[in-house]
Structure formats: C-alpha cells, structure tokens
Amino acid sequence: QQPVQSPQAVILREGEDAVINCSSSKALYSVHWYRQKHGEAPVFLMILLKGGEQKGHDKISASFNEKKQQSSLYLTASQLSYSGTYFCGTEIKTGRRALTFGSGTRLQVQP
C-alpha cells in the first residue's frame, strides 16, 4: 500500500521553508527520500532507519516518527535548485525487501 504524501504540490519563493509529509498505514522499518528534477532520474537524498532519527543534507533535513508511522522532509531557505518532485519510499516491517513509493510532492521554487 502506497504511503500518502502531502501536500501534492507547493510553490515557494526563494528563501522560504517547506515541509513535506509522508505517512503509512503500516509499521515502518525505514523511510527513504528522493528528488526528481524535470526530465531526469530520481536521485537519493537520505534514508531514515530508526524511529526518531533525524538527518540533514545541506539545508534539507528529515525526521522519522516510528510511532506515528510517518516522516517529514524539511526544506529550509529554499533555493531554485530545490525545485522538483520529492518522493518518499517506505519499507514496512516484516515486509518484502523493496520500497513502496508515494505519489510524490511537486515543489516549485520561484525567484
């Protein structure tokens, strides 16, 4: 079952912040985040493996709330280069050895 991402789309001005949420109906083992720019392949951002884990990558960070079965991606002081579609991929506990991706959040950063 696909994780649910919200919002589906967001438009920002440079320098603004954004939060993208990813929630699952099943207990999660890990959450992965990818970004896909228009016309390109998805590119890995980060993996969160433990409940409560937080990671950062430049001004992009993420948290994983194992209890709530959800993860959030935080984009701080957004840059034009952050534009693209963000996907979360989840691996459920006692599940198969592969990810299930959400439907994506389209992020557009304007000057």
Partner 1 sequence: DVKVTQSSRYLVKRTGEKVFLECVQDMDHENMFWYRQDPGLGLRLIYFSYDVKMKEKGDIPEGYSVSREKKERFSLILESASTNQTSMYLCASSLFADSGEQYFGPGTRLTVT
Q: Determine contact, residues 86/104, Cβ cutoff 8 Å.
A: yes
Count of chain residues binding partner 1 (CB under 8 A): 24
* Cβ-based neighbours of 94, under 8 Å, separated by 6 or more: none
Among 6, 14, 27, 43, binds partner 1 (CB under 8 A): 43
Region 70-99 residues binding partner 1, contact defined as CB under 8 A: 87, 89, 91, 96-99
Q: Which is nearer to partner 1, 16 or 42 (CB)?
A: 42
In order of 13, 97, 99, 110, the CA distances from 84 in angstroms are 14, 27, 20, 12
Name the site residues for partner 1 (rule: CB under 8 A): 2, 29-30, 32, 34, 40-44, 47, 49, 87, 89, 91, 96-104
